Amino acid sequence: MRNKISLKDIAKAVGVSTALVSYVLNNREREARVSPETAKKIREAAKELNYQPNQLAKSLKSGKSLAIGLILADISNPFFGHLARTIEDESKKKGYTVIVGSSDENYKNSERLMNTFIERQIDGFIIAPAEGSEAQLKYLNELNIPFVLIDRYFKEIESSYVVIDNFRATHDATAKLLELGHQNVAFVCYNNQLQHTIDRYNGYSKAMEEAGKKVTSKLLCKVKFNNPGDFHLKFRNLMTKGNKIDAVLFSTNTLSTLGLKTLMDLGIKIPDEVAVFCFDESESYDLFYCPVSYVSQPLKEIGQRAVQILVEMIGAKSGFHRQVILNSELVIRESCEKR
Amino acid sequence: MRNKISLKDIAKAVGVSTALVSYVLNNREREARVSPETAKKIREAAKELNYQPNQLAKSLKSGKSLAIGLILADISNPFFGHLARTIEDESKKKGYTVIVGSSDENYKNSERLMNTFIERQIDGFIIAPAEGSEAQLKYLNELNIPFVLIDRYFKEIESSYVVIDNFRATHDATAKLLELGHQNVAFVCYNNQLQHTIDRYNGYSKAMEEAGKKVTSKLLCKVKFNNPGDFHLKFRNLMTKGNKIDAVLFSTNTLSTLGLKTLMDLGIKIPDEVAVFCFDESESYDLFYCPVSYVSQPLKEIGQRAVQILVEMIGAKSGFHRQVILNSELVIRESCEKR
DNA sequence: TTGAAAGCGCTAACAC
DNA sequence: GTGTTAGCGCTTTCAA
């Protein structure tokens, strides 16, 4: 069996009450006026017996678990992996432990995770919400469980969130491509109704409009999530049906990787035959034959801000929300040149 | 404030004792001979009040937290991200929640994480141990806390583990390169003393020996972990100092990516000037100009087996260990051809 | 300066 | 069939 030493064991060993032990081991001996000798004995016994406090009991008593629930689409996706890493690091600094779950972009999974985490009394959530999660988030609000959304948010849900200015990101990337002289700039995105998808589309579309270009279906490729077959079909179509595409803007990291791969397979030369602008950083880009241009999100800052806001919300007596919109950066490299 | 409904609230609402509520909501009404009407009323009240059990209180009472602590080197590394994903999925199936932490290959961090997790009463650990973790693992053994090592293990530590046959993996990869006619096969690894590093080196070295080749320092590149500068210095040296290297075997995924990148920067053509064999799958390989050969680890199986073994260990009254050595697979593609 | 005791939410042995 | 109660490990009020 597992050798569990409790406050009581220490109290017995030293010959004092558990109250004193509790005070001393929480460094509150002064406030409780514990005599130095007793304190010393208690500390020694604790060390001797190798005492480790039971956080569960503390939490039960205090009503605070010092745990944060993190719900991502997929922890194996490097974009979310990086986010998870910064969130974990920042949480550790703040004294919180992170419990993670992958929703797989499915709101049913996300709901199940949320309930599991609530049962574990997490103090708050950081969530990259799946499509259709609105009701669950409203529910969290009803329960007064603080949460911060990352990467995506919902216009109709009152909440804190940390996102980038997606409109501006794609707007500027598109404008850059047009400025470089590309004529038919295509846009590749998922066909969901998530706000960041919409914002990114609008950014693209606005930049086109400003340049006097019409966005026709010949320039658009909206594909199903998690469905490489659908992607290949539609993207190949886009690129090979005589649409005269001379530049492509991919609106997520997974689409970027899939897209580069497909262009390579099709033998379409970048940037000679088509210019390419990607979304998010990826170590894959480093191995691509042509240095890739991309929208760089400040992942570290997103994670840190999310944790900071959440911790503030947890500590606040009355509810508040904080919205943070960060700027992304365009990293311009060879792949978007006009040849 | 957070609207927390407890068993007591339901008991009061229905007008019964908490004991009955507990029995019913744990579906043990039959064994406790609760009358159907009472049971029904209790369930209705629970639903009505939107009751969510407090897992912390349950755990405190039962001594089981139904939580697993996962300690990885770095959750943002896709290799570990995938592992984390399969572990999370399998744990969920078994009714366990996963708490993750990144050690950054630093045993001090790993120790801190372990203690945090122990305080949270996790039922067991899955660990990709950092160099120097031996003492901590012995400590876990003393405490009778079950754990399963993944990716790496220590010969001198009695423990369960799930790893691949690293010796065989590099042995076979090296043999393949030699069989294809390469003469000077170099080996790139980290300069640590982790068993998997040693095994991988031995596999390489054995294959060389079997082919009547001598492993000289001119063929070896041992680099510091997490130190791209050191890598570049030594690897460039290896490739440019007239060592006549015509094939390189990289012994981890990070080294593989760094290596491919450097070879590209140096303008060394693969496989025309040098053949390359990598370790672990990576989406980056898909974007490389030449299809990359690699050792493919069965990530999903590693994660699943680790969870299965851990759960068995947690359930067992007496301690036992289970060692699983899985086979990896060689994926042979253009990059290792002899030109 | 220290101890006793209540109580966080839950389970389970036991009594009625 | 149902209720009472002790106790998991901890904190904190109150009394001594």
CATH code assigned at B41: 1.10.260.40
Query: Which among B32, B53, B74 is the end of a domain?
Result: B53
* B323, β-bridge pairs: B161
Torsion angle of the four alpha carbons A242, A244, A250, A254, in this order, in degrees rounded to the nearest 10? 30
Please indicate, yes or no, whether residues A282 and A303 belong to a single structural domain of this protein: no
DSSP state of B212: T
H helices present in B98-194, as ranges? 107-119, 134-142, 166-179
Please indicate, yes or no, whether residues A160 and A303 belong to a single structural domain of this protein: yes
User: What's the 3-state SS for A1-51?
Assistant: CCCCCCHHHHHHHHCCCHHHHHHHHCCCCCCCCCCHHHHHHHHHHHHHHCC
- Report the 10 Å Cβ neighbour count for A182: 24
Please indicate, yes or no, whether residues B303 and B160 belong to a single structural domain of this protein: yes
Q: Report CA-CA distances (Å) from A177 to A190, A208, A255.
A: 21, 10, 18
Shortest distance between the Cα of B334 and any Cα of chain A, in A, equals 15
The CATH number of the domain holding residue B192 is 3.40.50.2300
DSSP state of B203: H
A101 within some domain: yes
Please indicate, yes or no, whether residues A98 and A202 belong to a single structural domain of this protein: no
| Banded model confidence at residue B2, pLDDT cuts 50, 70, 90 | low
Give the total number of structural domains in chain B. 3
Per-residue pLDDT for B149 more than 90? yes
Domain that holds residue B19: 7-53
* B70, β-bridge pairs: B100, B126
Please indicate, yes or no, whether residues A181 and A275 belong to a single structural domain of this protein: yes
Burial class for B53, CB neighbours closer than 10 Å (0-12, 13-18, 19+)? middle
Residues B57-98: pLDDT tens digits?
999 999 999 999 999 999 999 999 999 999 999 999 999 999
Residues B326-337: pLDDT tens digits?
999 999 999 999
pLDDT at A1: 46
Instruction: Say whether B75 and A85 touch across the interface (CB within 8 A).
Output: yes
Please indicate, yes or no, whether residues B176 and B242 belong to a single structural domain of this protein: yes
- Report the 10 Å Cβ neighbour count for A90: 21
Please indicate, yes or no, whether residues A74 and A160 belong to a single structural domain of this protein: yes
Contact B326, B164 (CB under 8 A): yes
Shortest distance between the Cα of B218 and any Cα of chain A, in A, equals 26
Burial class for A50, CB neighbours closer than 10 Å (0-12, 13-18, 19+)? exposed
A86 within some domain: yes
pLDDT at A242: 84
B319 within some domain: yes
Per-residue pLDDT for B310 more than 50? yes
Closest to A298 (Cα-Cα) out of A306, A310, A290, A289: A306
Q: Write the DSSP string, B221-237.
A: EEE-TT-HHHHHHHHHH
Closest to A249 (Cα-Cα) out of A262, A261, A241, A260: A260
The protein footprint on chain D, as nucleotides within 7 A of a CB, is 1-5, 7-13
pLDDT at A302: 98
Which residues of B are less than 8 Å from A85 in CB distance? 74-76, 102
Give the helix/strand (H/E) hosting B213.
Answer: none
The reported pTM is 0.95
Please indicate, yes or no, whether residues A251 and A190 belong to a single structural domain of this protein: yes
B275 within some domain: yes
Of A67, A85, A257, the CB nearest to B76: A85
B2 within some domain: no
Closest residue, chain B, to A96 (C-alpha): B116
Angle at B167 between CA B137 and CA B70, to 5 degrees: 30
Helix (H, G, I), strand (E, B) or coil at B55: helix
Residues B276-307: pLDDT tens digits?
999 999 888 989 999 999 999 999 999 999 99
Instruction: Say whether B144 and A54 touch across the interface (CB within 8 A).
Output: no
A2 within some domain: no
* Count of alpha carbons within 13 angstroms of residue A228, beta-carbon side: 7
* B101, β-bridge pairs: B71
Contact A67, A123 (CB under 8 A): yes
DSSP state of A329: E
Please indicate, yes or no, whether residues A71 and A96 belong to a single structural domain of this protein: yes
Which residues of B are less than 8 Å from A59 in CB distance? 56
Residue linked to tokens 């550790």:
A92
Q: What is the pLDDT along chain A (339 residues), one digit of tens a residue?
A: 466 899 999 999 999 999 999 999 999 988 889 999 999 999 999 999 999 999 999 999 999 999 999 999 999 999 999 999 999 999 999 999 999 999 999 999 999 999 999 999 999 999 999 999 999 999 999 999 999 999 999 999 999 999 999 999 999 999 999 999 999 999 999 999 999 999 999 999 999 999 999 999 999 999 999 899 999 999 999 998 888 999 999 999 999 999 999 999 999 999 999 999 999 998 889 899 999 999 999 999 999 999 999 999 999 988 899 999 999 999 999 999 998
A75 within some domain: yes
Of B2, B80, B143, the CB nearest to A145: B2
pLDDT at A268: 95
A83 within some domain: yes
pLDDT at A138: 96
Please indicate, yes or no, whether residues A87 and A207 belong to a single structural domain of this protein: no
Please indicate, yes or no, whether residues A151 and A209 belong to a single structural domain of this protein: no
Please indicate, yes or no, whether residues B273 and B315 belong to a single structural domain of this protein: no
Per-residue pLDDT for B1 more than 50? no
Give the burial string for A154-174 (b: 16+ CB within 10 Å, else e).
Answer: beebebbbbbbebbbbbbbbb
